[in-house]
Amino acid sequence: MAPSLLFLLISLLFIQSSGDLQQHNEEGHISVMISDKGLDFAKDLLIDKAIASIVMSQLPEIEKSVQVPLVGKAKVVLSEITIKDIQINSSTVETGDSGIVVVVSGATANLNMNWRYSCSSWLVPIGISDSGTATVKVKDLEVGLTVNLRNQGGTLKLILLDYGCNVGDISIKLNGGAAWLYQVLVDAFEGNIASSVEDAISKKIREGISTLDNLLQSLPQTISIDQTAVLNVSFVDNPVLSNSSIEVEINGLFIGTNKVLVPRSSLNRLETSTSCGGSPKMIKISIHEDVFNSASSVYFTADSMQWILDELPDQNLLNTAEWRFIVPQLFKQYPNDDMNLNISVSSAPVIQVTNQDIKATINLDIIIDVLESGQVIPVACISVDISASFAAEIIGNNVTGKLKLIKFSTNLKWSKIGKLHMQLIQSLTSSVLKTVIIPYLNSQLKRGIELPILDGFAVSNARIAYAQPWIELCSDVSFSGDSYLMLLPASVS
C-alpha cells in the first residue's frame, strides 16, 4: 500500500550529469548515497502521500446469509465500505543484503459503511427488513514489504520480493437496526471485513510497486543540455544496500550530441570517501573530477570555446592608435584602425579536484585582428597559460562557482608585425583577463551542473567538501512541491 511508495525516493532523488562515453565508459562518476536519515525523510513523506491515495477507497460489497435464533434466516449486505482515514503509529525502513524492508505497525483505520438486511420465518411470514449505517475501527494494522533494486540496461528496476498485511482487531458501531444485528455483524462479518481490508492493501502494494517500477523505467538515460552536449544519466551496476544507506552510481559524464549512448549493465565503481563530517545529512552526492573534464572535452571538441572580443572597458585599446608606443610597427602598418581579439582555447581545460579546492589549467590563444577596409587581418598571436582556482557553490539545485585567477604567463606564438614588447603585452593581457575573460567564464559557469534532485525537491543546509578527486555535497532535502509525486494517485488509485 502506501508505504511501498517509499521507494519512489530512488526516482525522486535522481537526475544526473555525464560525459564523453568513448573516453569514459567503464565507471560511475557521480555517486548518490541516501543515508538512514534520508530514507526516514522519504518514508514519512511518501507514507503521507500514499495514505492520501488510499483514503476514500471503497472495498467490495460483502453479502452473507446467517441463521438468527427466533428470527430465521437473515440476508445481510454491507455496502459502500469506505476507508475514511488511516493513522500510523510507527514505521521503519531498513536496508541490507535482503533488500529494502518497510514495516508499518500499530496503525488504525476508520471505515464507514452501509448495511441492510432482510429475513423471514414461520413467525413472520411476510418478512422484515431494515437498513442503516455503521462505523468500523480497524486496530493493530500491520503492513510489511520487501523490495530490491537492480540495474537493467542503465535503468533501475524495482522488484517486489515479499509483502503482507494483517489486521489485529476490529470494532463495529452500529447506527440503527435491531439489537441482534450488532452481534451478527461482529460474529459473522469481522473476518470478512478484515480480509477485505487486507486484500485491498495488498492490492495497493502490488499496484504501487508496479507504478514505481514504471516510473523508474521511464527515467531518461540522456538529458539534452544544449546543441553541443547531453548528459549521460544511465545508472551503473546495481545499487549497494548497506545496513544504513542506499548508494547508486551514475555514469555522470558529458556526451557530445553526435555520440551514441551504449548502456552498460555491469560497470566498475570508483571509490568515494565515506563521510562528509559534521552532523548527519540525508544525502551525499559525490562528483568525480572526470565529470568536469568530460564537459571540457566535449565543448572543446565542438569548437565552443572561442569568441570574438570587440568590446573592452577601455575601448581605446581596440584601436591601433593606442598601441603606437607598445607596438610601433602595428600603428605604422595600420594607422588608426579598429581591432578585435579572437580568443580561443587551444586545448581542453584541465580540471583537478584537490583536498582543498578545484584547480583549473586553461591555455588560450589570443589572435590580434586588424579591421581594415572590411577585411579582418590577423597580425599576431599570443599564447596565454592560465592557472585558476574554482570555489564551488550551491545555488538552488546546481553546483556552480567562480574562477579566481592565480597566475598566468604569456608567450608570443607568431607575429606579422615584428617583435612585441612582451612585458607590456603581459600587463595588457592581465587587464583583459581580469576585466573580460575571467568574468565571461564565470558568467558561463553560473549555469552550473544540475544536482540529482527532481523537481519539487531542493537541497538545504548543504555542505561542500573536497576529497581528491571528488567534490562532495552533503545535504538535507526539503520538499517544496508535488510535480513528480502528483503522478501517483491517478496511477495507483
Using the predicted structure, report yes or no on whether residue 126 has a pLDDT greater than 70. Answer: no
pLDDT of residue 4: 31
57: in domain: yes
Q: Quick check: is 427 in a domain?
A: yes
Q: What is the pLDDT of residues 70-93, one digit of tens each?
A: 666 778 888 999 999 999 989 999
C-alpha cell at 4: 511501498
C-alpha to C-alpha distances, 420 to 84, 310, 372, nearest whole angstrom = 85, 21, 21
Whether residue 248 lies inside any domain: the answer is: no
Q: Does residue 227 sit within a domain?
A: no
Average pLDDT over residues 435-445: 83
Please give the average per-residue pLDDT across 11-28, as a whole number. 39
**Residue at 277 is within a domain:** yes
Asked, for residue 26, whether it belongs to a domain, the answer is no
Q: Does the pLDDT value for residue 491 go beyond 60?
A: no
Asked whether residue 293 falls in the same domain as residue 210, the answer is: no
- Binned at pLDDT 50, 70 and 90, residue 5 comes out as very low
Grid cell of 288 as nine digits: 568525480
169 and 81, same structural domain?
yes
At residue 243, the pLDDT reads: 85
* Grid cell for residue 378: 590577423
- Whether residue 9 has pLDDT greater than 50: no
At residue 399, the pLDDT reads 79
Does 167 lie in the same domain as 104?
Answer: yes
DSSP labels for 143-189? Answer: EEEEEEEEEETTEEEEEEEEEEEE--EEEEEEESS-HHHHHHHHHHH
316/336 Cα distance (integer angstroms) = 10
Query: Do 293 and 214 belong to one domain?
Result: no
User: Residues 212, 275: one domain?
Assistant: no
Q: How many domains does the chain have?
A: 2
Between 151 and 122, the more confident residue is 151
The CATH number given to whatever domain includes residue 157 is 3.15.10.10
Tell me the average pLDDT of the chain: 81
**Beta pairing class for 62-68 and 30-35:** unpaired
Does residue 215 share a domain with residue 132?
Answer: yes
- pLDDT at residue 400 above 80? yes
Q: Does one domain contain both 215 and 78?
A: yes
pLDDT digits (tens, 9 = 90+) for 236-262: 889 999 888 899 999 989 888 876 555
Which is nearest to 156 in space by CA: 233, 54, 252? Answer: 233
Residues 361-378 pLDDT 10s: 999 999 999 999 889 999
With a cut of 50, say whether residue 492 has pLDDT above it.
no
At 274-288, the pLDDT tens digits run: 556 667 888 898 989
Confidence band of 437 (pLDDT split at 50, 70, 90) = confident
Domain range spanning residue 176? Answer: 2-14+35-220
User: Average pLDDT for residues 402-410, to the nearest whole number?
Assistant: 91
Q: Last residue of a domain, which of 450, 466, 487?
A: 450
List of residues 6+ apart from 199 with CB closer than 8 A: none
Whole-number Cα distances in Å, 388 to 1, 8, 239, 362, 433: 53, 41, 36, 8, 11
pLDDT in the model for residue 122? 60
